[in-house]
Amino acid sequence: VINRDDIIKKIKSVKMIPPVVTQIITAVSTPDFDIKEVAKLVTTDVSLTANILKIVNSPYLGLIDKINTINQAVVVVGSKVLMNLVILTAAEMTAREPVHGYDLAGEDLWKNSLATAIASFTIAEKNKFENSNIAFTAGLLHDMGKIVLGDFIGSDVNEVIRIASENKMTFLEAERKVYGTDHQEISGMMLEYWKFPQILIDSVRYHHEPEKYTAGGVNEKYVYAVHAGDAIALKTGIGTGADGLTYQMNNTAMEKLGLKNSDMEEIMALTIIEFKKMEKDLVQNHPK
Ligand SMILES: [Fe+2]
């Protein structure tokens, strides 16, 4: 019998994130991060630097002159775009894993995470959040718990779906009934274990149930942005797994974020366009 403790123990066996990745993610998650500090951190890691320069020089950004250094990249592509690429590359070094269970074939989890990151970032930008990178990072990492929980679910995903539909439960409630925990709780615990900033932990921990985040404060809007970003990503159908079938969006989320239906449509269209560009240049041909 699988229990919650076994699942939590498994978190500690997941590959540890390189310290430089934790440092970068922590640095870009502060409201007034210093781009020079981040650039300095990036350059301490040779493979991270090489991967980022390769992306910056890919057709994705359509630059004419070749970029040879991270500092040059900051000047040419600007801090926002560069930070998204840094976060993407850093997260990819650890988080691009196949997922058993959840009906997530190949790189579906990674694709869905990227679509969620783009949608959450777009919402944050639209609402002029202090630091939209936080929404991007949280979107990218929100479903990491599936890597751990998926190993336990294995071929039993149909069992979770059956329990969900028979009891008219959400996928999350069915996960809790079967495993005593759910993938958002495990995502939160993983980020905690990796010593990521609290604002990221909160944003992934409540991504399906933002109303359960009761601490308020500045973190709340990021929780809602990732929730709505996830809903939009699922609607695009990009890398959607078994739990997408029973997804329920919180009915106050749009109001909290000041979004209308037409905004949702627009963000969804932007997400698809941006994802396709990124997928072509970053996901398919990206060096590992
Ligand atoms: Fe999720």
What is the chain's pLDDT, residue by residue, as a tens digit (288 residues)?
678 888 888 888 777 778 888 898 899 888 788 888 889 999 998 888 988 898 888 887 888 889 999 999 888 888 888 888 888 887 776 666 667 667 666 678 888 999 999 999 999 999 999 999 999 999 999 998 888 888 777 667 778 888 888 998 888 898 898 889 999 999 999 999 988 999 999 999 999 999 999 998 999 999 999 999 999 999 998 887 766 656 678 889 999 999 999 999 999 999 999 999 888 766 554 444
The pLDDT score that the predictor gives to residue 155 is 61
CB 209 within 8 A of CB 249: no
280: CA distance to ligand 1 center in Å? Answer: 25
209: CA distance to ligand 1 center in Å? Answer: 10
38: CA distance to ligand 1 center in Å? Answer: 29
106: CA distance to ligand 1 center in Å? Answer: 18
What is the amino acid identity at position 252? T
184: CA distance to ligand 1 center in Å? Answer: 6
The pLDDT score that the predictor gives to residue 288 is 44
82: CA distance to ligand 1 center in Å? Answer: 26
Distance between CA atoms of residues 178 and 176, nearest Å = 5
50: CA distance to ligand 1 center in Å? Answer: 31
100: CA distance to ligand 1 center in Å? Answer: 15
113: CA distance to ligand 1 center in Å? Answer: 9
Distance between CA atoms of residues 148 and 196, nearest Å = 18
64: CA distance to ligand 1 center in Å? Answer: 39
176: CA distance to ligand 1 center in Å? Answer: 13
11: CA distance to ligand 1 center in Å? Answer: 17
57: CA distance to ligand 1 center in Å? Answer: 33
Distance between CA atoms of residues 102 and 145, nearest Å = 11
40: CA distance to ligand 1 center in Å? Answer: 33
226: CA distance to ligand 1 center in Å? Answer: 10
65: CA distance to ligand 1 center in Å? Answer: 40
Distance between CA atoms of residues 116 and 139, nearest Å = 5
265: CA distance to ligand 1 center in Å? Answer: 21
DSSP, res 281: I
110: CA distance to ligand 1 center in Å? Answer: 12
Non-local CB neighbours of 204 within 8 Å, separated by 6+ positions: 138, 141, 142, 144, 145, 184, 187, 188, 191, 226
Non-local CB neighbours of 185 within 8 Å, separated by 6+ positions: 145, 205
What is the amino acid identity at position 48? L
The pLDDT score that the predictor gives to residue 118 is 95
146: CA distance to ligand 1 center in Å? Answer: 8
126: CA distance to ligand 1 center in Å? Answer: 23
